[in-house]
Homo-oligomer: A and B are copies of this chain.
């Protein structure tokens, strides 16, 4: 009744062996006794997530229809064209969304991080694919049940509309980038957006983690791996950034980066 399995098609894709153990407490040793024991209560990204608008009682309803899962790098999460039976909330790690052309050309349309919701643009079938970048944790919802909750909790729907609105604005920024910016401007814009995201979550905006590969960055910015690599090198040479251990990047001058990002 508490943890329900609403289908297995995704489990088989996305490594069930990696299912978060801390969720098992809901089903076995510990009985579910109230909001304080539910996984959402301890969830660090709840406030910035779609579920942030819900109060304790509502979260209890929410947790009933949720399954937690973990994916490792390259695990497919959803496949373009498949029936859109699930929606997700990313609770940790990073996820990439992408579309493919018949000949294999790929466009990454977005990266999702903790707190991001996957499934706003839901038709009958998924209109894009999603894969974990590194390890990624997420809450999965049966879409039908999720939509039923939307009906019951209008503020959830309002929140979703707000998120959709934000994503649309972001998408328009990305169109400007893809259509009109140079390679250098593209990369600076990308780094800047990672930096701002870091800042919003309370981290140092001048040292950012860049968990995705050069190839992924290229497919996100409409560039090749080689151009991304060369452009990183150039920015480094020009003293704009410094490459640190562990896929981290030090931004030396955020204002300069901002100017470079807009060709100003």
Contacts and interface: CB of A to CB of B under 8 A. Distances in A.
Contact of A175 (B122, B174, B180): B174
30 contacts: A97-B172, A99-B176, A101-B176, A101-B262, A101-B263, A102-B262, A102-B263, A103-B263, A105-B181, A105-B263, A106-B180, A109-B175, A120-B165, A120-B168, A121-B169, A123-B165, A123-B169, A127-B172, A154-B154, A157-B157, A157-B161, A168-B168, A168-B171, A171-B172, A174-B175, A178-B178, A178-B179, A178-B222, A179-B219, A179-B221
Place the interface of chain A in its size category: 35 or more
A121 B172 contact: yes
Copies in the complex: 2
A175 B171 contact: yes
Contacts of A221: 179
Contacts of A222: 178-180
Interface string A179-198: 11100000000000000000
Interface string A92-134: 0000010101110111010000000000111100011000000
Interface of A: 97, 99, 101-103, 105-107, 109, 120-123, 127-128, 154, 157-158, 160-161, 164-169, 171-176, 178-181, 219, 221-222, 262-264
Contacts of A128: 172
A109 B172 contact: yes
Contacts of A127: 169, 172-173
A87 to B, nearest CB: 11
A105 B166 CA distance: 23
Nearest to A221: B179
Contact of A161 (B106, B164, B172): B164
A81 to B, nearest CB: 13
Closest 10 CB pairs of A and B: A179-B222, A178-B178, A171-B171, A121-B168, A164-B164, A107-B176, A109-B172, A105-B180, A107-B179, A127-B169
Contacts of A160: 161
A167 B122 CA distance: 11
Nearest to A174: B175
A173 B127 CA distance: 9
Given A164-B164, A165-B123, A180-B105, A99 B171 contact: no
Nearest to A109: B172
Contacts of A264: 102-103
Contact of A107 (B101, B107, B157, B180): B180
A51 to B, nearest CB: 17
